[in-house]
């Protein structure tokens, strides 16, 4: 059975931040598991800074069903985790079960991906101290106030943590994260056959 990987979302998760990794995981033979505050249908959004605008404009995007609620996650069952962007991380970061799950992936050195506002979740969970990450520039403060270092690049790899700034970086940071997942899957498969 393909290994499972969590994608963390909520209402107002960014569509491309969520759907691109969802399908890339499938292409690589993993099972993406969408996790959210509750097991239900969620409304995603599309974000873009339009020419002449100084702030992000938001449109409704696709909807997506959550496969599991944060409270029901046993992190031992998952090979990796991905923190999607959009506005969802601003409120889901306070969920105590999401904090518990987030800490597990950092403490066990499992493959982690984060894009855009996704950084707000590991930052709140006290997992970014001493770590280098890319994020959207307006979240630089969230990262740095929690002890992380902001790097303005399309892909930043810091050990098991791979990050990008926005969905414009999908083609840069997701490949290295998938590679980490493939290495972890190979190691897990080898352990099972020994």
CATH number, domain 4-193, options 3.30.310.50, 3.10.129.10, 3.40.50.880, 3.40.50.2300 = 3.40.50.880
3-state secondary structure at position 7: strand
CB 12 within 8 A of CB 88: yes
Active site residue 117: yes
pLDDT in tens, 135-149: 999 999 999 999 999
Does the structure show a pLDDT above 70 at 2? no
At residue 56 the predicted structure's pLDDT band, cuts being 50, 70 and 90, is confident
Does the structure show a pLDDT above 80 at 194? no
Assessment of whether the complete model's pTM goes beyond 0.75: yes
Please give the average per-residue pLDDT across 170-185, as a whole number: 98
| Average pLDDT score, the chain | 95
Sorted by where each begins, the domain ranges of the chain are 4-193
> Phi/psi of residue 179, each to 5°?
-60, -45
| Strand-strand pairing, 132-133 and 149-150 | parallel
Does the structure show a pLDDT above 60 at 1? no
**Marked catalytic residue, from 3, 108, 117, 172:** 117
Token pair for residue 12? 């107002």
pLDDT in tens, 70-87: 999 999 999 999 999 999
């Amino acid at each position: 059975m393909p290994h499972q990987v969590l994608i963390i979302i909520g209402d107002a998760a960014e569509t491309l931040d969520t759907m691109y990794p969802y399908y890339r995981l499938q292409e690589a033979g993993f099972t993406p598991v969408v996790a959210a505050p509750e097991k239900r249908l969620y409304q995603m959004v599309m974000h873009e800074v339009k020419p002449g605008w100084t702030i992000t404009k938001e449109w409704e995007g696709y909807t997506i069903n959550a496969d599991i609620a944060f409270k029901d996650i046993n992190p031992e069952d998952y090979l990796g985790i991905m923190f999607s962007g959009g506005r969802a991380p601003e409120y889901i970061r306070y969920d105590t079960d999401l904090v518990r799950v987030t800490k597990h992936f950092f403490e066990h050195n499992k493959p982690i991906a984060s894009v855009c506002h996704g950084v707000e979740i590991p930052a709140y969970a006290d997992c970014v101290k001493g770590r280098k990450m890319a994020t959207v520039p307006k979240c630089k403060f969230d990262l740095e106030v929690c002890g992380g270092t902001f790097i303005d690049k399309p892909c930043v790899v810091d050990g098991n943590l791979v990050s990008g700034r926005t969905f414009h970086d999908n083609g840069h940071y997701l490949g290295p994260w998938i590679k980490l997942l493939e290495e972890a899957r190979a190691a897990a498969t080898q352990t099972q056959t020994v």
